[in-house]
Amino acid sequence: MNTIDLVRSFAPILHFHPDESAHCCFPSDAERIFQLYQSDWSRFELTKTPKTLDDSTPCYYEIWTDKSMTQIRYWFWYNYNDFPGTHFGIGDHLGDWEHVEVRLYGGLSTQNAVWLVSNHLKARLASLEKTLPGFDREMPILEDAHLHVWVALGSHANYPSPQSAPRCYAKIFCDKIRDHGMIWATANVLRKLDETNFRDFTGRWGDEKAPRGPANEYNNRWRNAPDIEPIQATSES
């Protein structure tokens, strides 16, 4: 299987909260934003757009291959992060980079796959047979090899299931995930990260609270989990 066919075969399917358009925003074109504001990020101001899902919005990807593992990371750009229910701007910031990662250990089948989905400053893990130490494993919901992912309202944190336990702050402010919203299949809108206009940009996408982009060392290959061997999943894991 060639590289693009492999990347396309594992490209995730995102499910948005049915209230996303009323609350914040859907993914948008990061290259356009970078072109507009790279020379002066102070001009990039609060914009909760787009309000509708454009199926042609790019999903960016990067891939690494070595003897023990093939690793693919899929990136999505949002213009704003608006954590629901908080006050005084807590959890809100310009720009929002999110991602879904798949690690394929010893083969290209879903049985060899471990998925890590971005969830605030950490990641959630889903897998069929293998897992990584230190994670609470969830069962993936798959369509062939495409992982279904549920996107939290406003914060855009990712979850492997609409029944996943949401991340909460101070036990009060919790992510909201729900079925029956817009669905985005990313397989047909893939764009290689190395071929974008922001491939070398390592700064923040906005002000000092804005996220660091994919090329920043913070988002290095081992951000979600270190380079460790997987273990066989058990009912307890």
pLDDT per residue, tens digit, the chain (237 aa), is 899 999 999 999 999 999 999 999 999 999 999 999 999 999 999 999 999 999 999 999 999 999 889 999 999 999 999 988 666 566 789 999 999 999 999 889 999 999 999 999 999 999 999 999 999 999 999 999 999 999 999 999 999 999 999 999 877 889 999 999 999 999 999 999 999 999 999 999 999 999 999 999 999 999 999 999 999 987 655
109 Cβ neighbours under 8 A, 6+ residues apart: none
Cis amide bond preceding 50, omega within 30:
yes
The overall longest dimension of the chain from CA atoms, in Å, is 52
Q: How far apart are CA 49 and CA 176, in angstroms?
A: 19
Strand partners, 123: 118
| Count of other CB atoms within 10 angstroms of residue 160 | 24
Are the CB atoms for 27 and 6 separated by under 8 Å?
A: no
Is residue 99 packed enough to be buried (19+ CB in 10 Å), middle (13-18) or exposed (0-12)?
buried
pTM of the model as a whole = 0.96
